[in-house]
Structures are given as structure tokens and as C-alpha cells.
Amino acid sequence: ELKVEQNPLFLSMQEGKNYTIYCNYSTTSDRLYWYRQDPGKSLESLFVLLSNGAVKQEGRLMASLDTKARLSTLHITAAVHDLSATYFCAVDILGGADGLTFGKGTHLIIQP
């Protein structure tokens, strides 16, 4: 059974600071996804990481994937209030067609 663990589950930080969210998963996969969810809203796709060593950046967010360590990170640089949201990582089983397995999410609050 594929397990996906995120940490931290809750993070409160100040604007201007840097921080990293971690996503570990338990079985072989080379496809990892990061989503953002604002309160009461749906999930918005942020990054799709499709190979070992993949790194993608969008604004103040950067995501990376290490398939050997079964680890992905989402790094926030110089955080701003608008990045407050819940961030989910999700993994699918290599070669599978079973949909995504999600982590519990990281609830991020960025205070001015």
C-alpha cells in the first residue's frame, strides 16, 4: 500500500522567511504532484515532477524530486501572505492506473 507523508502538517511563518515542506512516500514512483488548496476551494495544480532530479520553480515556490530517497520538497522563498494555503503532495504508483494517493496536507499560514 502506498503511503504518503508530509511534514510539517501545520506551519506558521512570517513574511520574508524561507521554509521547506517535505513529502516522503513509501513505494517506487517517479511521478509526484504538488497541489494548493485555499479554504473552501478546490485543488489547484502547482507542479508535476516526472523524473528523478526534477526541479521546477514558479515564483517563490520551488519543487524537487529525489526518487531514490522517495522524497520531494516544496521550498518557499521570501514568503508572502498570498501563499497562505494548504499544500498537498500526491503520488501515483509507477505504471498504475489507480489515481493519486495524497498526503495529509501542510496548512501554511504566513503572517505579515
> Minimal CA–CA distance to 29: which of 99, 84, 85, 107?
99
Distance CA 53, CA 51 (A): 6
Residue in 21, 31, 74, 83 binding another protein, rule: CB under 8 A: 31
Taking CB under 8 A as the criterion, the residue among 21, 23, 25, 33 binding another protein is 33
What is d(CA 34, CA 27) in angstroms, rounded to the nearest whole number? 17
The answer to the question of residue 39 lying near another protein (CB under 8 A) is: no
Size of the chain, expressed as the number of residues it contains:
112
Position among 46, 61, 76, 92 found at the interface with another protein (CB under 8 A): 92
Please state the separation of Cα 19 from the chain's center in Å.
12
Q: Which stretch binds another protein (CB under 8 A): 13-21, 56-64, 65-73, 90-98?
A: 90-98
Residues that bind another protein (CB under 8 A): 4, 31, 33, 35, 40-45, 48, 88, 90, 92, 95-105
